[in-house]
Homo-oligomer: A and B are copies of this chain.
């Protein structure tokens, strides 16, 4: 048996689909007699518009699209969990779009972002959240930024931890510079003077800002920054191992290493231990992110928590405000990172002697 559609109802009531829609959704006045005729047909057929038909009628899909660069980096599932907790309360479901950057060259990643943005517009999502990818670029090309600005005109859009030039975007960000500064101040406070910074990518704003914080803390303490101890080579455990390995082969080695994220910190610990050092006795190591994994390694990693769950929740809340047009929505929400002191940092050996 063919099920009854909104078009069948419209035909039988001899009205337009739009009129049926108005009755179904109570979006505009309809003449009483017409309303009755339509309502009686709805009752007669026990008509229940399906989700897609409702979407066409109401232009609301209940779907949020999320574009992220790498689901296997534990930072992103943590942020997603926060997003989900909050957005689920509002009845949203998700399109997860993973651009899979960990296995791609960088151009391919941005191309995929473009594809996903188009798909999400096609699917008529109610809103989009972007995290990572081009919005993390320190200098994004005009063309790529414009693409997103165009989307921003058509659908509510929120960035987590990033920005693009040429337009005003709604953003929920962590204060990256404060993160880099505070973790470095923690090491300086312990007595370290010879501190390295490894990890990240020099073209990414999160890396640039964390490094700025690092430089600021060093400068304030009157400590020199040794440029040969600054190394940007990625965000993975393996890259962390490699960068730490290079540091340890130098003639002079630092007593402490600020790593650009937790995975690099874990890799750095591994490299240090493999080369016969003890952490933190011989070298202190810190991370940034605050993923649960950072508390699972031995020694447990001292880190700057970027408060993933809160970031996700705040972004969902801003997006919901934009979608539901409920009052004033802040354009910029800034969260402060939190220093989490664990086992991978201590006073430098010289001080103990």
Contact = CB atoms under 8 A, between A and B. Distances in A.
A77 interface: yes
Contact of A84 (B52, B100, B266, B297): B100
Interface in A77-126: 77-78, 80-81, 84-85, 88, 93-98, 100, 116, 119, 122-124
A293 interface: yes
A94 B96 contact: yes
Contact of A237 (B61, B84, B266, B292): B292
A53 interface: yes
B85 A77 contact: no
A50 interface: yes
Contact of A296 (B85, B95, B266, B292): B266
Given A100-B84, A273-B298, A296-B297, A94 B95 contact: yes
B85 A81 contact: no
Interface string A317-337: 000000000000000000000
Interface residues of A, number: 45
Nearest to A309: B72
Contacts of A349: none
Given A77-B71, A78-B72, A97-B93, A51 B292 contact: no
A256 interface: no
B93 A95 contact: yes
Interface string A264-278: 001101100100000
B237 A124 contact: no
Contacts of A84: 71, 98, 100
A135 to B, nearest CB: 20
Nearest to A236: B292
Interface string A42-64: 00000000111101100001010
A123 B93 contact: yes
Contact of A52 (B52, B71, B85): B52
Contacts of A273: 298
Contacts of A298: 269-270, 273, 297-298
Given A72-B77, A95-B96, 6 more contacts: A52-B55, A71-B84, A74-B74, A85-B100, A88-B100, A93-B95
